Amino acid sequence: MTQTAIFAAGCFWGVEQTFRDTNGVIETEVGYTGGHKDEPTYEEVCRKTTGHAEAVRIEFDPAVVSYDELLEIFWNCHNPTQVNRQGPDVGSQYRTAIFTVDKDQQEQAESSRDKLAASGRFDAPIATIIEPLGKWWKAEDYHQQFFEKRGGGACHVPG
């Protein structure tokens, strides 16, 4: 039985590819969540009028990769101290966030964040928002598996 995880860590193209390359991830989908408008389009999200974050929904096999391991990948694939930006991408749609599907994920995400904050790895406070998942809206097809379809892999995601 698979489980679901949802992460926002800046531009969803590179974040999606990072998780697609993870053993135990069965499927990914990029989309929008955390906002107030039904069925937002990419253009609306980019205009910063919907409140949504660009995010990645991950279906994973917990027998192969745990939620805690996915959290580690999340923390390592972006800078969780940046508020409403990642690298050159600026705006609330690029915020760092974990959208949890149940109480266990909420507790694991908060514990993981607190452990990272106490580690001294970053000079600035962790800005990642952790909140229950609201409505999920699938992004347009041309955004799905963007790098696999078009080649390349730039974005901000560290190697």
35 in helix, strand or coil?
coil
Position 12 in a domain: yes
> Does residue 157 belong to any structural domain of this protein?
no
Which residues are bridge partners to 59 per DSSP?
A: 4, 27
Residue 159, domain member (yes or no): no
Positions annotated as catalytic residues are: 11
Q: Residue 12's pLDDT band (boundaries 50, 70, 90)?
A: confident
What are the pLDDT digits (tens) for 39-89? 999 999 989 899 999 999 999 999 999 999 999 999 999 999 999 998 888
Identify the pLDDT of residue 159: 41
Structural domain contains residue 34: yes
Residue 76 inside a domain? The answer is yes
Please report whether residue 58 resides in a domain: yes
Number of domains in the chain: 1
3-state SS of 73-134?
HHHHCCCCCCCCEECCEECHHHCEEEEECCHHHHHHHHHHHHHHHHHCCCCCCCCCEEEECC
Tell me if 111 is assigned to some domain.
yes
* pLDDT of res. 13: 79
Band the pLDDT of 14: cuts 50, 70, 90: confident
Q: Is the pTM of this model over 0.75?
A: yes
Domain with 134 in it: 3-150
- CATH number of residue 8's parent domain: 3.30.1060.10
What per-residue confidence (pLDDT) applies to 98?
98
User: Which amino acid, one-letter code, is at 117?
Assistant: A
Query: Is 156 part of a structural domain of the chain?
Result: no
